[in-house]
Amino acid sequence: MTALPWTQPCRTYGWRSWRDPLREAVLAVAVGWAITLIEGAGKDRFPSSHTFVRNAVLALSILILARGLETMLSWAIEQSRVPMIFRTLIYALGAWTGFFLGLLALASLYGAEESDFRFHSFHIIYAASEAVLIACIVGFVLHHNQKRNDRLRRAAERLREHEFAEKELEIARDVQRRLLPPPEIDAGGFRIRARSEAAHIIGGDFYDVLRLDDGSVAVIVADVSGKGMAASLIMASCKAALSLLAGGSRDPRDVMQALNVKLCDDLQKREFVAMVYVHCNPHQGRLSIVNAGMPDPLLLSDGAALPVVCGGDRLPLGVGRNRHYETATIDLHHGNRLLLFSDGLPEACLSDDPIGYERIERLAAGSNDLVDAVRALPGIRLDDDATAVVITRAAPRG
């Protein structure tokens, strides 16, 4: 374990590092000399070098005692209910003690002046009172300057952390975009058009199109719990696992149940993935659909929207190991469309109320782009990721 240096802030009051008393000593000498010049101006003569040395020694002695006592008693000040009064008393005691110790030091060096130890004289009372007042003023100024520097340092650290986090999120968003397939794909006699918009920098929705060994196509739309980096990592893990599990054109139900077991092993509590998996058979135009927690897909035909309901468990993947998913099968004729979408669209709000699934069905039946249709509603607010994928049969050649 590495020992922390004393230069790291470890107390609220007093000196924080060895550099603090050195800097403040320079300030004390400057204050002593300033007082010397002011007193000399009052007497209309330039002070002697002895006077400069005398006041510098007194200022240093007062500083060391006043700020040193504050440093030693920092723990008591922090626990005090009236820290300002407590510190004022400390500064006063330190100033008085430092003043008389400074006089003793000067007496041993230069000899005592007649007025220095006349305790009933105006000179000594004025000088001691002046020392206390200046010690209090300088002490409070130094303390509040330290607090200001602490705030500036913390603000700069937060700003650096924020900038670093933003850069990391931008990188993660670019990676997430590259993981998604193109928005339009022709594969296995089907045409897939996709639109996905994140509510924040990194979204939890994703879609994928897998070309399987027998020429069929698997289309996936999923919604990962949470947002940010965690959701992005779960998304990448799901995409990688699906590519392996769907290999060999396995039954969609088996793929989903195998993926559910894997996610139950990999995810933490309150982490799950809602997903709809569509296996597209190019020879028959047949779609096999397994739904685990996503909104019911909509079969769009002749201006109508018919929900395709899957049986079995409808809980998302990763919630429990013993889940039984069932397959719904439909024939997708030319001119019909199958719409897959995430719950961010029906949960979009108008006047704080979600627009709901019935309105989504009406919008989907009359629009070629559900995301644009929802965004076109006056006053709409999308607080969640929005994803829509449309599957159609490719027009026959010739």
Q: Is residue 244 part of a domain?
A: yes
Is residue 153 domain-shared with residue 238, that is, in the same domain? Answer: no
Answer yes or no: do 24 and 128 share one domain. yes
Residue among 23, 382, 201, 373 nearest 390 (CA): 373
Q: How confident is the model at residue 165 (pLDDT cuts 50, 70, 90)?
A: confident
Question: Do 137 and 238 lie in a common domain?
Answer: no
pLDDT given for residue 249 in this prediction: 62
| pLDDT (0 to 100) of residue 121 | 53
Query: Would 26 be classed as within a structural domain?
Result: yes
What whole-number distance in Å separates Cα of residue 203 and Cα of residue 219?
A: 19
pTM of the full predicted structure? 0.63
Domain end residue (candidates: 114, 136, 167): 167
Does the pLDDT of residue 44 top 80, yes or no?
no
Q: Which residues fall within 8 angstroms of residue 58, CB to CB, at 6 or more apart?
A: 32, 98, 99, 102, 103, 106, 131
List the single range of 128-132, 196-200, 293-297, 301-305 with lowest mean pLDDT: 128-132
Residue scoring higher pLDDT (390 or 311): 390
Domain closes at, from 110, 143, 167:
167
Residues 59 and 191 in one domain: no
pLDDT winner (highest mean) among 94-98, 126-130, 281-285, 377-381:
377-381
pLDDT mean over 229-252: 82
Q: What pLDDT does residue 289 have? A: 96
The stretch 8-30 carries a mean pLDDT of 76
How far, in Å, CA of 255 to CA of 290, rounded? Answer: 9
Domain tally for the chain? 2
| Cα-Cα-Cα-Cα dihedral sign, residues 344, 312, 220, 228 | positive
pLDDT for 198 beyond 60: yes
Averaged pLDDT for residues 246-269: 86
Domain identity same for 162 and 191 = no
Which range has highest mean pLDDT (56-65, 194-203, 375-384)?
Answer: 375-384
pLDDT value of position 118: 56
Question: Among 107-111, 178-182, 221-225, 232-236, which range has the highest average pLDDT?
Answer: 221-225
Higher pLDDT: 345 or 82? It is 345
Q: What is the pLDDT of residue 7?
A: 42
CB atoms under 10 Å from CB of 15, counted, come to 21
pLDDT value of position 360: 94
In a domain, 266, yes or no: yes
Cβ atoms within 10 Å of 268's Cβ, excluding its own: 9
Domain boundary (135, 167, 199) is at 167
* Percent of the chain surpassing pLDDT 70: 91
CATH number at residue 191: 3.60.40.10
- Do residue 208 and residue 70 come from a single domain? no
Residue-level pLDDT at 297: 96
Is the confidence at residue 6, as pLDDT, over 50? no
In a domain, 14, yes or no: no
Out of 74-83, 140-149, 287-296, give the one with best mean pLDDT: 287-296
Q: Nearest CA to 208 among 199, 217, 197?
A: 217
Q: What is the residue-averaged pLDDT of the chain?
A: 83
Name the percent of the chain lying above pLDDT 90: 28
- Kindly state whether residues 244 and 299 are assigned to the same domain: yes
Is the per-residue pLDDT at 120 higher than 60?
Answer: no
**Which whole number is the average pLDDT over 16-29?**
82
Range of the domain at 254: 183-393
- Confirm if 365 and 305 have CB atoms less than 8 A apart: yes
Confidence of residue 347 (pLDDT cuts 50, 70, 90): very high
Residue 69 has a pLDDT of: 83
Q: Are residues 360 and 316 in the same domain?
A: yes
Residues 315, 273 contacting (CB under 8 angstroms): no
More confident residue, 346 or 283: 346
Least confident of 31-35, 77-81, 171-175: 171-175
Higher-confidence position of 108 and 254? 254
Tell me the C-alpha distance between 260 and 269, whole Å: 14
Q: Considering the domain boundaries, does residue 8 fall inside one?
A: no
Claim to verify: residue 224 and residue 133 sit in the same structural domain: no
User: Do 275 and 131 have their domain in common?
Assistant: no
Same domain, 197 and 298: yes
Q: Are residues 84 and 32 in the same domain?
A: yes
Q: What is the mean pLDDT of residues 256-268?
A: 91
Residue 212 lies in a domain: yes
Could you write out the DSSP letters of every residue in 288-325?
EEEEESSPPPEEEETTEEEE----B--PPBTS-SS--B
Amino acid letter, 218: A
| Residue 202 located in a structural domain | yes
179 against 60, higher pLDDT: 60
The yes-or-no verdict on residue 174 having pLDDT over 60 is yes
Is residue 1, in this structure, part of any structural domain at all?
A: no
* pLDDT tops 80 at residue 279: yes
